[in-house]
Structure 1
């Protein structure tokens, strides 16, 4: 993050920001900005924001905690730099009455569905606040959760899914038609959009709540046989999405029942595509703990999809098998599956590609290769594969890029280069704070624990550990 991000308009409605603006203290505005839940579970480090402002970390600390600034030039320059809305300021800015329209969070279309419906930005914010009335806690964990979940709920409410959302049970029809099944199916797409923007942490609670309500509705409503098959597929898809969010939020024990349910529902509906999706996620979930079973799941998915699988789907299934072989210590099996994955990926995209394979690209292939080499105890090869991701990032798949960057730090440490491990981890720290993936943040916490050991102490490792501790409030 070499410059301040463009933030959505709702950013400035955050209570600590509003309070700091009312106090006419730009230093406190900057502190509220750093600690805003938009940036993730962990506040932006003072060193990062100080770099934007052109001052040192120590100077920024004095600005945040000292008396209010009175120099108009500096006030105006910093307000413009952070894009503080001019109407919220207690002084006039020259030459600029408004900022450009804010982009969605993390560069992703957080409210794409809402935009399709013609809902204005302010209306989306109102919908979100009406859906969840979590209390503000001055920038703490509860407030961060509220902001991120509000973003997701805004998308779901705009898509017409209010009866599935947290809160008092809403009145639902006594019968289900195909139109309502399509609406329920679109919920999965909306959850994916929200996940791409806000991250899986605690968003999985929203998916699980929606799954519970939709399942309860389906159990007591009446519908035709045709609608019943479509409904089973929709429920299976929602189960798969809830499982994925649980995996990325590092709540893996909660994911497996959803995937077993998805497989059962897919078989009831005779829907092999949904069954393959469920098996693909199950193979990922159990790879470390049950690599043999993980292989069988991917093999079953290959068998079921024979004749209709696109090259990208086949690539993904081979990429599920390759690391499972690596965990088992089978280098030849790993090499064989990686060769098949490369061959399939080279065939390119297909018009029949399912939405859930959108992330299958060269970056993902290199990432899986790197993780497999780590499992095989070959960190030097892992570093080579994982470094290719940081050298050629894929902006559309930022979470995966950040995940593999953190794993590159682990590989560098295992290779014996603690300074490189610390440099990579320090570069990844701001991005990890933003994506709200506990799966990723847990790996970075492990890196911090390793590099904080006295025997690893160097100037670079201390710099990373200090930055990490300041960011998480240790």
Structure 2
């Protein structure tokens, strides 16, 4: 499923300019239709999601029939059913489509700092909190419509992660994961639905964990992936369990690189052994390539050169087999270019910055590279060029990556790679870096204050 929003951090998962305008115009039936169609739901499925609704009610709402969604309780019942956060309703209150919430660092703001486009945290508490109380009614019974909707949310969350990165998505990813866990724990559902519900919840946890990792919060990422592992162990889905261990290996490899210790790299290799065991009956070439490219970088940090090279070659050969029906949508990023990016990281780890820069340049030639990954690899290219003494090339690529981070991508991982460039005395680059860092910090603070 392709992302449906570009150029601005979304307030929630199904955010779009058309949805915001419908809310501004109080065309609430149109808002329902836009969300339903974006999630791939039928009117019958949407009716099953909302307490007291059915297919006929959805039809009446979407066609603007009188006495349907013009009561605040009806609006909130629908918003709760689709996990729509209260701040996503700000366009209804303010009458402008790009209304957002800004968390004031000091907890207060001066009157002249507030305009009609930005609601600070204190104003939100007074207005949205009063008009749209935050209590979400628990769901008593879960059916296949809920499962279908959660699966659609999962695919959209992965797609948005590839497009805009972690800092912009962390809060809504953890919120959706927690709500789904609560659903599984408290609601009633048929026994035959349990494995699929556990699976979709585990997959949400996997995605949320990577989003936290990309947002620079390794501690939260590791907590989330542990939760996902417990859920995945309750399923018979080998591909899902393998994906969990591959994410755990990525995080351990990153910790090894940051700390300079060998222990986390050994841990990563143990996780990848478990991933291979889980995937032993899975036929997806992309899953095999994912495990092998992660093994290559972890083995490289252990100075196991033969193992690393063998795993790298195997990853390329896996992808040479072409697409397979067992390839899951969330493995879509696993391409020859992604393997090449891992090969470039291995060159960085061994100090071969000339080779690393060449490999990163080749990686960036891939036209279908997801925007978040493109920004990450461009920052990596700038870092490799700087380490080989090419300051001109480093600043060129560093500025390009920084521009994307200013405009649409919220990857703290990518921003951190640019820190050495920030410290070289270029005032303009340092100021731009600081502005992006403050914006990402504000987004993270909104998550941290609510969840940590």
Into which bin does the TM-score normalised by the smaller protein fall? 0.5 to 0.7
Q: Does 1:389 align with 2:363?
A: yes
Measure, in 2, the Cα distance between the counterparts of 1:167 and 1:463. Answer: 44
Q: Secondary structure at the match of 1:435?
A: coil
Structure 1 position 137, deviation (Å): 7.2
Q: Deviations over 1:213-260 (max 9, x none)?
A: 222232222223212222211221121111111111111110112212
**1:278–1:411 CA distance, 2 compared to 1 (3 A):** same
Scaled by the length of structure 1, the TM-score of the pair is 0.63
Q: Is the 8 A contact 1:280 1:297 kept in 2?
A: yes
**1:112–1:331 CA distance, 2 compared to 1 (3 A):** farther
**1:330–1:468 CA distance, 2 compared to 1 (3 A):** same
Per mean C-alpha deviation after superposition, the further-off stretch among 184-193 and 356-365 is: 184-193
Q: Secondary structure at the match of 1:268?
A: coil
**1:170–1:408 CA distance, 2 compared to 1 (3 A):** same
Measure, in 2, the Cα distance between the counterparts of 1:215 and 1:471. Answer: 33
Structure 1 position 194, deviation (Å): 3.3
Q: Does 1:407 align with 2:406?
A: no
Q: Is the 8 A contact 1:313 1:353 kept in 2?
A: yes
Measure, in 2, the Cα distance between the counterparts of 1:206 and 1:128. Answer: 8
Residue 177 of structure 1: aligned partner: 143
Q: Does 1:429 align with 2:393?
A: no
Of the candidates 1, 4, 8, which is equivalent to residue 38 of structure 1? 8
Of the candidates 351, 354, 363, which is equivalent to residue 328 of structure 2? 354
Give unmatched runs, 5+ long, in structure 2.
11-33, 43-61, 64-74, 76-83, 92-98, 108-113, 119-131, 256-263, 440-452
Residue 240 of structure 1: aligned partner: 206
Q: Does 1:299 align with 2:255?
A: no
Scaled by the length of structure 2, the TM-score of the pair is 0.66
Structure 1 position 130, deviation (Å): 6.0
Measure, in 2, the Cα distance between the counterparts of 1:189 and 1:243. Answer: 15
Q: Does 1:266 align with 2:266?
A: no
**1:382–1:396 CA distance, 2 compared to 1 (3 A):** closer
Q: Is the 8 A contact 1:243 1:255 kept in 2?
A: yes
Q: Secondary structure at the match of 1:186?
A: helix
Measure, in 1, the Cα distance between the counterparts of 2:412 and 2:202. Answer: 24
**1:419–1:140 CA distance, 2 compared to 1 (3 A):** farther
Measure, in 2, the Cα distance between the counterparts of 1:259 and 1:468. Answer: 30
Give unmatched runs, 5+ long, in structure 1.
1-7, 12-36, 41-109, 148-165, 453-460
Measure, in 1, the Cα distance between the counterparts of 2:181 and 2:431. Answer: 47
Residue 131 of structure 1: aligned partner: 88
Residue 288 of structure 2: aligned partner: 314
Larger Rg: 1
Q: Does 1:416 align with 2:389?
A: yes
Q: How does 1:99-110 map to 2 (within 5 A)?
A: none
Measure, in 2, the Cα distance between the counterparts of 1:462 and 1:280. Answer: 40
Measure, in 1, the Cα distance between the counterparts of 2:432 and 2:183. Answer: 48
Q: Is the 8 A contact 1:132 1:167 kept in 2?
A: no
Q: Is the 8 A contact 2:164 2:411 kept in 1?
A: no
Measure, in 2, the Cα distance between the counterparts of 1:404 and 1:297. Answer: 25
Per mean C-alpha deviation after superposition, the further-off stretch among 192-201 and 435-444 is: 192-201
CA RMSD of aligned residues (A): 3.7
Q: Is the 8 A contact 1:319 1:368 kept in 2?
A: yes
Measure, in 1, the Cα distance between the counterparts of 2:146 and 2:437. Answer: 43
